Amino acid sequence: MNILERLFEMTALGELIESPLTLVMFALAFVLLYLGIKKRFEPLLLVPIAFGLLLANFPGGQMNVIQATADNGLLKMTILEIAKEYGIMNMLYYLLIKTGLLPPLIFLGVGAMTDFGPMLRNLRLAFFGAAAQIGIFTVLISAVAMGFTLKQAGALGIIGGADGPTAIYTSIVLAPELLGPIAIAAYSYMALVPVIIPFVVRFTTTESELKIHMKKQEKLYPSKTKIKNLRTVKIIFPIALGTIVSLLVPSSVPLVGMLLFGNLIKEIGSDTNRLFKAASETIMNTATIFLGLCVGATMTADTFLNSQTLMIVVGGFIAFAVSIFGGIMAVKIYNIFSKKKINPLIGATGLSAVPMASRVANDIALKYDPSNHILQYAMSSNISGVIGSAVAAGVLISFLS
């Protein structure tokens, strides 16, 4: 009958029958919601990603992101044309994500919520945030060998930076078609840091190394400079660092520069409190909600269920593991040449995943020696790992895009 036919056409049941794999996407959405809500894996991102995925899977709602191709002319359309033709989710995607706007805005908020104090108090340990970026580049090479394009390989590798906004920003610039799986892998592995770090640590360190007592070493071989005016140092530091980075790695400025600006308006205090509130609350929260929904909406059965996604999941894990390994090795090499020993767990946190990696490292250290509180030390390489991976992202973008 005519009415029933039109009723059926209105629903997405026909589409579901045509592409039953959509059910797998629904299942994925439910798994992500379970992980985000019940297991508390990065709920601020995984819940919107999962719900975005849920809403995206039927074309009738126009809530799924259509990738721009040479044919569909999306890149030439105005925002209004995109909204009219493809709905509000594509509007948000092409206005906020594809432009690369939201990750820098989130970095602005991250900066406004970051305290460089622990890093400044244990400055030399910040150096180990560099070695822990090796996973990014190792996986880049492996992925190219496996058949990914250079751009895709770079986007895959950056998962090893263990930093959500950095991974998303790099994907948007280098390989937007992989944004969904890369974002999910990045945030999932960040949430799995309490499992991954102990796993790598077990195979690469000895008990005696894990017992290296940071405070005792500090007393034996004092090296730190006491900070006599922390507030002034904290205000000048982001300005100085911003100048250096904009001079040496301009392509990382959208990320690092915004991070440092956010940090500056926090450290100035009450005079810029309005800016701080905008950065750490208004902009941060709003950007997170739209980023999550849009990333989720990029994933449909067609684009997600393929061997690339599987390779991203595997490659992302390898990138994480190699980065942790690199950080640990850097400490071990340092320890060969120095009388003053450093606990290799400090290297493991160079990965970033702030502050969970530091907490995990601290817990491991305390298991081997209940008096060995290494949280403050771990935070130094941990925070510097954020800068490290943002700089690495700048290099990837500069060379590959």
Partner 1 sequence: MNNDIQTALIVLVVGMITVFVILALVVLTGEILIRIVNRFFANPPSSQAHLSSADTNVATPLETRGIPKQTLAAIVSTVDIITEGKGKIKDIHTK
User: What are the backbone dihedrals phi and psi of residue 304, each rounded to the nearest 5 degrees, phi first?
Assistant: -100, -40
Q: Angle CA(358)–CA(31)–CA(41) in degrees, nearest 5?
A: 15
Backbone dihedral region for residue 66 (phi beyond 0: left; psi -120 to 50: alpha; all else: beta): beta
Task: For the segment 344-373, give every residue that binds Na ion (CB under 5 A).
Answer: 352
3 state SS of 340: coil
Number of residues near partner 1 (by CB under 8 A): 52
Cα dihedral 322→326→329→331 (10° resolution): -140
**199, interface contact from partner 1, its own copies, Na ion, none, CB < 5-8 Å by kind:** none
Size of the site for its own copies (CB under 8 A): 84
**Nearer of residues 108 and 361 to its own copies, judged by Cβ:** 108
174 makes contact with partner 1 (CB under 8 A): no
The 3-state DSSP class for residue 369 equals coil
Q: Which of residues 256-275 bind its own copies (CB under 8 A)?
A: 257, 261, 264-265, 268, 271-272, 274-275
Range 216-255, binding partner 1 (CB under 8 A): 225-229, 232-233, 236-237, 240-241, 244-245, 248-249
- Token pair 């493991």 in the structure block, residue: 348
Q: What single DSSP character describes residue 221?
A: S
Give the one residue of 50, 134, 175, 183 binding partner 1; rule: CB under 8 A: 134
- Of residues 139-158, those binding partner 1 (CB under 8 A): 140-141, 144-145, 149-150, 153-154
Residues 6+ apart with CB under 8 A from 303: 67, 177, 180
Query: How far apart are the C-alpha atoms of 315 and 82, rounded to whole Å?
Result: 34
104, 312 Cβ separation under 8 angstroms: no
Does the protein bind its own copies through residue 61 (CB under 8 A)? yes
- Three-state DSSP string of 303-320: HHCCHHHHHHHHHHHHHH
We find the least distance from the C-beta atom of residue 127 to Na ion, in angstroms, to be: 14
> Which residues, 6+ apart, have CB-to-CB distance to 357 below 8 Å?
162, 193, 197, 348, 349, 351, 378, 382, 385
Kindly give the residue spans of alpha helices, DSSP state H, lying in 163-220.
164-174, 179-191, 193-204, 207-210, 214-220
Residue 352 near which of Na ion, partner 1, its own copies, none (CB within 5-8 Å, type-dependent):
Na ion
Residue 214 C-alpha from the chain's centroid: 28
Q: Provide, rounded to whole angstroms, the least separation between the CB of residue 264 and its own copies.
A: 7
Binding of residue 368 to partner 1 (CB under 8 A) = no
- Dist CA 220 CA 214 (whole Å): 10
Binding to its own copies in span 273-292, by CB under 8 A? 274-275, 277-279, 281-286, 288-289, 292
Q: 150 contacts which partner out of its own copies, Na ion, partner 1, none, CB within 5 to 8 A by kind?
A: partner 1
Chosen from partner 1, its own copies, Na ion, none, partner binding at 141 (C-beta under 5 to 8 Å by type): partner 1
H or E element in which residue 390 lies: helix 375-400
**Partner that binds at residue 285, options partner 1, Na ion, its own copies, none, CB closer than 5 to 8 Å by kind:** its own copies
Residue 126 touches partner 1, criterion: CB under 8 A? yes
**Residue among 134 and 265 whose Cβ is closer to its own copies:** 265
Any contact of residue 163 with Na ion (CB under 5 A)?
yes
Residues 14-33 that bind partner 1 (CB under 8 A): none
Instruction: Work out whether 389 is an interface residue with Na ion (CB under 5 A).
Output: yes
Residues 68, 89, 136, 259: which binds partner 1 (CB under 8 A)? 136
Q: What is the dihedral of CA 353, 157, 247, 256, to 10 degrees?
A: -30
Report, in Å, the least distance between residue 72 CB and its own copies.
13
Among 87, 118, 161, 316, binds its own copies (CB under 8 A): 87
Q: Which window, 60-68, 204-212, 308-316, 389-397, contacts Na ion (CB under 5 A)?
A: 389-397
Instruction: Pick what 54 binds: its own copies, partner 1, Na ion, none; C-beta below 5 to 8 Å, kind-dependent.
Output: its own copies
